[in-house]
Chains A and B, each alone.
Chain A
Amino acid sequence: MRMTRCVAVGAAALLAGLLMVGASPPAVAEDGDETLVIGTMWESLPLSMTARRSRFFNESEILDTLVKMDFDMQLQPGLALSWSRPSPTQWVFELREDVVFHDGTPFDAAAAKHSLERVIDLLPYAADLLNIDTITAADTHALVIETNAPFAALPNQLTDAITGIYGAASFDADGAFVQPVGTGPWRFVEYNPQQNTIVERFDGYWGDLPDLAQIDYRYIPDHHARTIALEAGEIHLAANILPGDVERLSEEPAFAVFQAPSAGLYYAAFNAAADRPVGDARVRRALNLMVDRELIVAGALDGVGEPAWQFFRDSHDWVPQDLPSYAPDLDRAAELLAEAGYAQVDGRWQRDGEPLTLEILSYSSRTEMPLITEAMAALLSQQGVEVTIGLYTWPGMLDLVRQGDYDLSVVFWTPDMIGHPDLHLKSQFHSAAELNYQNWAHAGFDAAVDLGRTLDPGLDRDAAYREALTILHDEAVVMPLVFKVYVAAASSAVQGFRIHPSGFFYNFKEVGLGG
């Protein structure tokens, strides 16, 4: 029996040893109050100038853009103080003086030109978005941009993260990208693959200096793990928490929950090809009338979201205000389906003996996406429509969408990302758009969008876009579902944090750690 005791003692010692090894305190920031630790779900990406990563460089304000977007989604001076369009195809940007990059080199028109040209070279689609023909440094702080065609949305487009200005020190002698060296309030310090990115305050910043000394963007992809890390005191702020955690954390005094309605929209895009059931606009309208968005928000998202009835929020003059609503109306939906040749048999819609069946595609990487997709499908099924759901990775879903093998694809975009309707209308719904996988084409819509992008802000431009959006709405090209409400939770020590409605901007320069 001595043997039994030996084994038991040995086992206990090994277990205790393992726990002792682990019993050191959690790795909270060593610099105390001055370092903010944030748990994010995106920052696993390697350092590069690709679109997703450059978005991080912008939202973390390592880089500045020429033009910025304030919390009301209005244009604000960034590295450019002012801009004007002396001719339809020419823009002139007056740049800030006394701005330096993180390596101490001065920012001027030549640096801006070099960076923008570099981005356009690297990202072919940047050229399409920006419509830039030539960039000229007219003098040290005046940048002249000629566009390929009259393009009024250029200042808005220059708020996009991919146009952040990189200093020459971002590249090595061979021109290869090394690390982001910008003009923002935060200087890049280090990136540990799959773990975290650290930035520190840049004391030579041109604007008001931040309070915090350092920010540690820690990558915690699991939504539950991120919240637990916050509750355990390992991080100060958890971005994109699950709807189910919002109410619970709101009730705890040690935490503050931030919510901000955003321009981000979850919507179902219809495949309008003639051989699909939703190729018929009447069917698309009927489906729109069957889905109660209020119910999706309340039931699937615990109230964290805003029901969406149209593609843009109605906070702009170019959004039509008096469109007929797609609020649930089952009688009208039944009429429309009957007009389209469908009849209800045993509660299920069918035509020529074939049930009305919809292939719904979606992807699971966004926190709310599966919940919204399943709720929408359940509501349609309840109304007698057969549905099949396929949840894929984003590229996997895109493959199937490109092949046209779907009826609805539930996606997330931020139509209002640049505060101008051109970006998404032109790139997603215009018949010539490369991203238009919906097989929908409408000459009147194309003409209105093509006109709108040439016009300066004003009544004519607003009228053009109102016409385009009216067509989009009447044709029911999409089923808007939910405007995303960005949620984050922080320890009560975090002060001054606000969520930017674009969802792409942290603004930590106004954040402090108290208590």
Chain B
Amino acid sequence: MPSNRQRQGAIAADPALVQALTRRLIYGAGLMVGVSLAAFLSLRALPGDFAEVLLTYQMAGEIPSQSALDRFRSEHGFDAPILMQYLRWMVAALTGDLGMSFRSGDPVIEELRLAVSATLWLTGVSFAVVLLGIPLGVIAALKAGGWWDRLLTGLAVVGMAIPNFWHALLFMLLFGLVLGWLPSSGYGTWAHVVLPALVIATSSVGVVARVVRRALIEQRQALYARTARSKGVAPLRVLTDHCLVNTAAPVLTVLGLQAARIFDGAIVVETVFGWPGLGRALAEAVLNRDFPMIQGAILVIGIAYVVINLLVDTAIALIDPRARASL
């Protein structure tokens, strides 16, 4: 096995890796265009006339006449081919102009900025909790078959099986009402972030722990690990320097997937806990047909997915040379 230092040297000098990562970046950019197109087209594909919905909103709910509608369509380019409309929207989006929110009348980009910062706070803490799955999985692997392993597996299944909104209510009841340790809902202090973050994390922490456990058990049974142990390498060293490093690829992959899932979880959890983040902004926008806001939120979430995947792939490639070939 090459040492860590040798491995790092190889990365810097590996033009194939640089090329592969560049290729992934280009794919990523293409994917973002795809996401933006989906965000744009999905709303246009809904039943009902997009221009009419917009104009009705502007007229405070009054039904516009046909002539007013025709004028509005031509003034705002809604009579242009759909691809042309997309290009215009995209060019504006690239300059940070995602339109104005129907509900607030404020720029969508400004609304998103506030919502994204609240969501990053929540998802960041959630992700930190999800990372607990790594040590928990390691313990389960080391104690495979023992009570700790069975307890963890049981908790993981429960965590995955109970839907987030139900978790949320149970946590509110337990920590907010029965124990009185934490505020049951709201936003603003560190105390407020704990419950929603735990709720989002519960469904993912078990998944991560199980993947870590399975991967580590496999690695510990591999021939190289047995060889190292028979050569007299300390068991701790075999674990940290050899086995754990080799579990990195599946663990990073699952962490990437769970990071993306955290954004999904935030939609329900933010609504239940009254957290003013991206998930709730999207839910409110959908309920109020705030089309510019929906498009903006889908775009941001889509980009987050693409970026997370890119980061995960890059990290795996850096750690595991075998993965570079598949980049």
Q: List A residues at the B interface (Cβ < 8 Å).
A: 2-4, 7-8, 10-11, 14-15, 18-19, 21-24, 26-27, 44-46, 48, 50-51, 122-125, 192-195, 218-222, 224-225, 228-229, 231-234, 365, 393-396, 399, 402, 434
Segment at the interface with A among B29-37, B86-94, B170-178, B315-323: B170-178
Are A234 and B172 in contact, CB atoms less than 8 angstroms apart? no
B60 close to A122 (CB less than 8 A): yes
- Asked if A232 and B287 make an inter-chain contact with CB atoms under 8 angstroms apart, the answer reads no
Residue B6 lies at the interface, judged by CB distance under 8 Å to chain A: no
CA A221 – CA B195 in complex, angstroms? 17
Complex: how many Å from CA A228 to CA B182?
12
- A14 and B59 form a contact (CB under 8 A): no
CB of B229, distance to nearest CB on chain A (Å): 14
- Binding stretch for chain A, among B77-85, B101-109, B220-228, B255-263: B101-109
Contacts known (A222-B272, A228-B177); A7 close to B138, Cβ less than 8 A: yes
| A217 to B134 alpha-carbon distance, docked (Å) | 42
Give the most central of A14, A18, A218, A234: most B CB within 10 Å.
Answer: A18
The segment from B154-162, B185-193, B245-253, B298-306 found at the interface with A is B185-193
* 6 A-B pairs with C-beta separation under 8 A: A27-B188, A27-B191, A195-B186, A228-B169, A232-B180, A233-B180
The answer, among B104, B111, B192, for a CB contact under 8 Å with A27, is B192
Question: Cα distance A133–B219 when bound, in Å?
Answer: 84
Q: Which 8 A-B pairs have the closest CB atoms?
A: A22-B194, A194-B276, A46-B104, A7-B135, A26-B183, A22-B191, A232-B176, A21-B190
Bound form: Cα–Cα A2–B176 in Å: 36
Please, which residue of chain A has its CB at the minimum distance from the CB of B173?
A: A228
Within the complex, the shortest CB–CB distance from A454 to chain B, in Å, comes to: 25
Say how far A397's CB is from chain B's closest CB, in angstroms.
11
Most A CB within 10 A of own CB, among B168, B195, B281, B288? B288
* CB closest residue in chain B, given A1: B142
Which residues on the A side are within 8 Å of B138 (C-beta)?
Answer: 3-4, 7
Measured CB to CB, the closest approach of chain B to A238, in angstroms, equals 11
Does the CB pair B276–A26 fall under 8 Å? Answer: no
Contact partner of B129 among A18, A26, A396, CB < 8 A?
A18
Report the separation of the CA atoms of residues A222 and B287 in the bound assembly, to the nearest whole angstrom.
Answer: 14
Q: Which of A219, A225, A234 lies at the interface centre, i.e. has the most chain B CB atoms within 10 A of its CB?
A: A225
- Which B residues are closer than 8 A to A by beta carbons? 47-48, 59-63, 103-106, 111, 114, 125, 128-129, 132, 135-136, 138-139, 142-143, 168-169, 172-173, 175-177, 180-195, 197-198, 236, 239-240, 271-274, 276, 280-281, 284, 286-289
Query: In angstroms, how far is the closest chain B Cβ from the Cβ of A309?
Result: 30
Distance between Cα atoms of A192 and B115 in the complex (Å): 12
Interchain CB contact under 8 A, A365 and B194: no
Complex Cα spacing A233 to B183, Å: 9
A481 to B175 alpha-carbon distance, docked (Å): 40
User: Complex: how many Å from CA A220 to CA B281?
Assistant: 14
CA distance A51 to B104 in the complex (A): 13
Of the residues B194, B273, B286, contact of A18 by C-beta under 8 Å: B194
State the Cβ distance, B179 to closest chain A Cβ, in Å.
Answer: 10
Q: Are A10 and B106 also in contact (CB < 8 A) when A27-B189, A234-B183 are?
A: no
A396–B289 Cα distance when bound, in Å, is 8
In the complex, chain B residues whose CB is within 8 Å of the CB of A3: 138, 142, 236, 239-240
Question: Which residues of B have CB within 8 Å of A26?
Answer: 176, 180, 182-184, 191
Q: Name the distance in Å between A393's Cβ and chain B's nearest Cβ.
A: 5
**A234, B186: Cβ atoms closer than 8 Å:** yes
B142 touches A219 (CB 8 A): no
Query: With contacts A4-B139, A14-B132 known, is A22 near B195, CB below 8 A?
Result: yes
B245 CB to nearest chain A CB (Å)? 15
- A24 contacts B289, C-beta separation under 8 Å: no
A14-B132, A46-B104, A228-B172 known; A23 vs B181 contact (CB < 8 Å): yes
A residues near B272, Cβ cutoff 8 Å: 222, 224-225
A21 proximity list for chain B (CB < 8 A): 190-191, 194
Task: Give the docked Cα–Cα distance between A229 and B274 (Å).
Answer: 11
Among B47, B176, B193, B274: residue with most chain A CB under 10 A:
B274
Complex alpha-carbon distance, A229 and B172, angstroms: 9
Once the chains are docked, how many angstroms separate the CA of A393 from the CA of B168?
23
Contacts of A233 in B (CB 8 A): 180
Distance (Å) between the CB of B55 and the closest chain A CB?
12
Given contacts A3-B236, A228-B176, contact A23 B288 (CB under 8 A): no
Beyond the given A50-B60, A399-B48, please list 11 additional residue pairs across the A-B interface where CB-CB is below 8 A.
A3-B239, A27-B192, A122-B60, A125-B61, A193-B111, A193-B114, A195-B274, A221-B271, A225-B169, A234-B186, A393-B286
Q: How far is the CA of A231 from the CA of B177 in the complex (A)?
A: 7
A1 to chain B, nearest CB (A): 8
Question: Do the beta carbons of A399 and B185 come within 8 Å of each other?
Answer: no
Q: Is the CB of A393 within 8 A of B173?
A: no
Min Cβ gap B130→A in Å is 12
Shortest CB–CB separation between residue B139 and chain A, in angstroms? 6
A402 to chain B: closest residue by CB = B63
- Which residue on chain B has the smallest CB distance to residue A224? B169
Closest to A394 in B: B287
| With known contacts A229-B185, A399-B47, A123–B60 Cβ distance under 8 A | yes
Give the complex CA separation of A46 and B102 in angstroms: 10
The answer on a CB contact under 8 Å between A23 and B191 is yes
User: Given contacts A46-B104, A396-B289, are A232 and B135 in contact (CB under 8 A)?
Assistant: no
- The answer to whether B182 touches A23, judged by C-beta atoms less than 8 angstroms apart, is yes
Alpha-carbon distance A390/B197, docked complex (angstroms): 34
C-alpha gap A250/B136 in the complex (Å): 45
CB distance from A433 to the nearest CB of B (A): 11
Smallest CB gap from A363: residue in B: B287
Query: Whole-angstrom distance between the alpha carbons of A141 and B185 in the complex?
Result: 48
Residue of A nearest to B165 (CB): A222
Which residue on chain A has the smallest CB distance to residue B141?
A: A4
Complex CA–CA separation, A396 to B284 (angstroms) = 13
**Contact assessment for A393 and B287 in the assembled complex, using a CB-CB cutoff below 8 Å:** yes
Q: Are B185's CB and A4's CB within 8 A?
A: no
Q: Which residue of B lies closest to A229 (CB)?
A: B184
Residues of chain B lying within 8 A (CB to CB) of residue A45: 103
Kindly state the separation between the CA atoms of A228 and B194 in the bound complex, as whole angstroms.
17
